């Protein structure tokens, strides 16, 4: 527990390298899209960030179920870390999406199912953090967190469907809510490669961040224990 | 199974009897619901044209806000007076307690709806009872809402920030219910053909089934001490 495990250091190095390669590929290797121009390059990290966000929320559900079954505190740390990372990357996803939508759809925001669902997810997991803040007992905090992570994640696809039916009955006027309508493009092989590398790079980033977050949580718990011992 | 049903019945009866004697919950929910409708009246300028489009939205926002009030109160009472511990000590299946509380909350919500609907009909000179389907939508929507709401309220009352916590926890999770219920209600009110209402009813049903079973599975980990 004292120093970082070798594997983690290795993971960090790999993450930094792949992120650097992905960044280079986005700016130097991928061709500039003919219709949209340079702003299309947002796409690579935009989708990758959304991917990490979903990965985080999915990991939180798995950790939640694992916690309720096994009651091992480490699963609570996994769940909390995964949701913190998921929240951050979903926010990056929404903001980069807005930056892209402004020139392409001519608006920062439309009430498209994906946009709306992503934002509701942000609110949902922000509520998760507030729930945790309101509970002092760590065991109960972990239990409630696990339950809410499960319930929240199950409601997300239903939210998406509900908004999608809403939109198919009422067509979207501004800009076309569906990305395949306005601002769609077909990827060249170079774009495809850049996209794949970005996804891999962000997945490594997720694994590395989550591991650090879990270690931080464990160290925090140790500090708490030591403080308790000192006051005794 | 019989023991389960008896325990469930006892919890429902306890809630209804307590409410019948004190009338704390229903009266505050009702007054609140009527106030919300009046506020909407001024905020939205509910003239005849606007009303046709927003009636279902106004009704559901009213139910949801009044419902939050009821859910919070229904479990806060148990927590404050130590009744929850007593309930948990009883040698019965704990999910019977959950279903008992959820059914009682559902009844309260339906009572509020049963009074709000005729009042709304009189105030705005529309007959909300002309379409029987609307009542089904209200039942399905209220069921989904109270199924999740009772579970989350049981968590919220055990937190420090409980009164402000419940709506924050509940609203992002019940958005599918709200969207589906509003659209299905307005479909019935505008007499749209059934095939336009059906997807919403299916969504409501799916939500009710999924969340009632999830709540059934996890309730025990919410109340264990």
Instruction: Give exposure, B137-166, as e/b (b: 16+ Cβ within 10 Å).
Output: bbbbbbbbbbbbbbbbbbbbbbbeebeebb
Residue A67 forms part of a structural domain: yes
pLDDT-derived band at B91, boundaries 50, 70, 90: confident
Residue A149 forms part of a structural domain: yes
Residue A23 forms part of a structural domain: no
Q: Which chain B residues contact residue A166 at CB under 8 A?
A: 179, 183
Lowest mean pLDDT, pick from A93-107, B79-93, B180-194: B79-93
Q: What is the pLDDT of residue A126?
A: 95
Residue A35 forms part of a structural domain: no
Q: Which chain B residues contact residue A147 at CB under 8 A?
A: 151, 155, 218, 221-222
Residue A162 is part of which domain span? 41-173+206-231
Residue B79's closest CA among B166, B167, B205?
Answer: B166
Residue A157 forms part of a structural domain: yes
Q: Is A162 within 8 Å of B179 when comparing Cβ atoms?
A: yes
Task: Identify the residue among B155, B186, B197 best suited for mutation to test binding to A, counting A beta carbons within 10 A and taking the highest.
Answer: B155
Q: Which chain A residues contact residue B156 at CB under 8 A?
A: 131
- Distances in Å between the Cα of A225 and the Cα atoms of A50, A75, A123, A216, B63 are 37, 19, 33, 14, 47
Q: What is the pLDDT of residue A142?
A: 93
Residue A2 forms part of a structural domain: no
Report whether A57 contacts A159 (CB < 8 A).
no
The total domain count for chain A is 1
Dihedral angle computed from the Cα positions of residues A78, A79, A80 and A85, in that order, rounded to the nearest 10 degrees: 80
Q: What is the pLDDT of residues B33-50, one digit of tens each?
A: 999 988 888 888 777 777
Residue A179 forms part of a structural domain: no
Report whether B119 contacts B40 (CB < 8 A).
no
pLDDT profile of chain A (232 residues), mean per 10: 82 93 89 80 89 94 95 93 95 92 84 85 94 90 94 89 69 46 70 89 94 92 90 80
pLDDT (mean) for B3-27: 88
B161 to chain A: closest CA residue:
A134
Is the pLDDT at B178 greater than 50, yes or no? Answer: yes
Q: Is A133 within 8 Å of B161 when comparing Cβ atoms?
A: yes
Q: Which chain A residues contact residue B174 at CB under 8 A?
A: 155
pLDDT (mean) for B119-129: 85
State the CB neighbour count (10 A cutoff) for residue A52: 25
Angle at which helices A73-104 and A113-133 cross, to 10°: 150
The domain limits of chain B are 2-223
Q: What is the pLDDT of residue B113?
A: 92
Residue A66 forms part of a structural domain: yes
Q: What is the pLDDT of residue A184?
A: 67
Between vectors from CA B54 to CA B49 and to CA B55, what angle results, nearest 5°? 100
B179 closest CB neighbour out of A127, A147, A166:
A166
- Sheet strands (E) in B74-144: none
Supply B212's token pair: 């009632």
């Amino acid at each position: 527990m004292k120093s970082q495990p070798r594997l983690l250091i290795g993971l960090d190095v790999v993450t930094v390298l792949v992120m650097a390669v992905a960044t280079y590929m986005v700016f130097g290797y991928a061709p500039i899209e003919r219709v949209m121009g340079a702003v299309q390059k947002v796409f690579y990290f935009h989708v990758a960030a959304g991917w990490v966000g979903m990965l985080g929320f999915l990991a939180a559900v798995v950790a939640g179920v694992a916690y309720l079954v096994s009651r091992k505190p480490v699963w609570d740390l996994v769940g909390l870390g995964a949701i913190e990372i998921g929240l951050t990357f979903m926010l990056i996803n929404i903001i980069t999406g807005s930056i892209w939508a402004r020139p392409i759809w001519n608006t920062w925001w439309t009430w498209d199912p994906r946009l709306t669902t992503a934002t509701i997810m942000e609110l949902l997991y922000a509520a998760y953090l507030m729930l945790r803040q309101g509970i002092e007992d760590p065991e109960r905090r972990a239990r409630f967190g696990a339950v809410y992570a499960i319930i929240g994640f199950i409601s997300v696809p239903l939210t998406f469907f509900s908004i999608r039916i809403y939109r198919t009955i009422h067509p979207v006027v501004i800009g076309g809510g569906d990305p395949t309508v306005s601002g769609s493009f077909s990827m060249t092989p170079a774009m495809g490669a850049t996209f794949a590398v970005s996804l891999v790079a962000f997945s490594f980033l997720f694994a590395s961040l989550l591991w650090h977050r879990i270690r931080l949580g464990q160290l925090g718990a140790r500090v708490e224990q030591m403080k308790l011992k000192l006051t005794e | 199974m019989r023991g389960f049903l008896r325990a469930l019945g006892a919890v429902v009866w306890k809630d209804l009897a307590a409410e019948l004697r004190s009338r704390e919950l229903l009266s505050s929910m009702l007054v609140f619901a009527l106030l919300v409708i009046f506020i909407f009246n001024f905020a939205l300028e509910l003239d005849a044209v606007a009303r046709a489009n927003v009636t279902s939205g106004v009704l559901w926002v009213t139910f949801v806000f009044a419902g939050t009030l009821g859910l919070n109160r229904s479990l806060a009472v148990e927590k404050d007076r130590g009744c929850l511990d007593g309930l948990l000590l009883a040698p019965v299946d704990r999910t019977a307690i959950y279903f008992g509380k959820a059914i009682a909350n559902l009844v309260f919500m339906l009572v509020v709806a049963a009074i709000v609907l005729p009042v709304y009909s009189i105030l705005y000179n529309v007959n909300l009872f002309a379409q029987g389907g609307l009542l089904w939508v209200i039942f399905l929507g209220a069921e989904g809402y109270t199924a999740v709401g009772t579970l989350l309220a049981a968590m919220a009352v055990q937190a420090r920030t409980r009164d402000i916590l419940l709506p924050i926890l509940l609203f992002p999770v019940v958005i599918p219910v709200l969207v589906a219920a509003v659209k299905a209600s307005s479909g019935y009110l505008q007499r749209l053909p059934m095939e336009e209402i059906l997807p919403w009813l299916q969504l409501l049903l799916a939500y009710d089934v999924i969340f009632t079973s999830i709540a059934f599975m996890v309730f025990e980990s919410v109340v264990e001490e």
